[in-house]
Amino acid sequence: ALGIWLVPWLATLELPAIPRSGRKTSRKAPNLLLIGCDTLRVDRLLPDYPRNVAPFLRTLAQRGTFFTRCYTPIARTAPSLATLLTGTGPHTHGVRFNFMGDDGTTLPVTALPQILARHGYHTEAISDWSGSDLGKFSFGFHRTWMPEDQWNFRYLLRQGPKELRLFLGLFCHNRLGRRLLPELYYLAGIPLTSYLGRLARKRLSALGRRQQPFCLTLFTGTCHPPFGSEYPYYRFYADPRYRGPSLFAMAHLTDPMEILRSQREPREAFDLDQIIDLYDGCVRRFDDEVRTIFHHLKRCGLDRNTIVVIFSDHGMELFEHGTWGQGNSAIGEQSNRIPILIFDPRQPGQGQLDGVIRATDLVPTLLDLLQIPLPSHLEGVSLKEVVTGQRPLPDLTATFRTGLWLTRHPGMPASHLAYPDLVELLHIPDRRTGTLAIRPQYRDRIEQARDVAVCRGRWKLVRLALNPTPRYLLFDLESDPGCHEDVSGLYPDIVAELKACLD
User: Is 409 within the bounds of a domain?
Assistant: no
Query: What does the DSSP assignment read for 25-90?
Result: ---SSPEEEEEEETT--GGGGSTTSSS---HHHHHHHHHSEEEEEEE-SBSSHHHHHHHHHHS--H
191 to each of 41, 81, 86, 180, 285, how far by Cα in Å? 18, 20, 28, 19, 10
Beta-carbon contacts of 164 under 8 Å, excluding residues fewer than 6 positions away, are none
Task: Tell me the sheet residues that pair with 126.
Answer: 145, 218
Q: What pLDDT does residue 15 have?
A: 42
Q: Are residues 434 and 329 in the same domain?
A: no
- Quick check: is 417 in a domain? no
Of 347, 377, 393, which closes a domain? 393
The reported pLDDT for the residue numbered 164 is 79
Query: What per-residue confidence (pLDDT) applies to 25?
Result: 42
Neighbours of 271 (CB within 10 A): 17
Same domain flag for 166 and 24 = yes
Same domain, 243 and 165: yes
> Is the domain of 429 the same as that of 383?
no
- Domain holding 493: CATH number? 3.30.1120
CATH number, domain of 197, equals 3.40.720.10
pLDDT of 3 reads 40
Query: What's the average pLDDT block by block, 10 residues per block, for the chain (503 residues)?
Result: 38 43 59 99 98 99 99 99 99 98 98 99 98 98 96 90 76 87 88 96 98 98 96 96 94 73 82 96 99 98 98 96 91 97 98 99 99 98 99 98 93 94 96 97 98 98 98 98 98 98 87
Q: Same domain for 227 and 173?
A: yes
Q: Mapping DSSP to helix (H, G, I), strand (E, B) and coil, where does residue 462 land?
A: strand
- Residues 6 or more apart whose CB falls under 8 angstroms from that of 98 comprise 76, 77, 78, 79, 133, 151, 404
Domain membership of residue 470 as a residue range: 422-502
**Pick from 429, 424, 419: nearest CA to 256:** 424
Rounded to two decimals, what is the model's pTM? 0.93
Is residue 341 helix, strand or coil?
A: strand
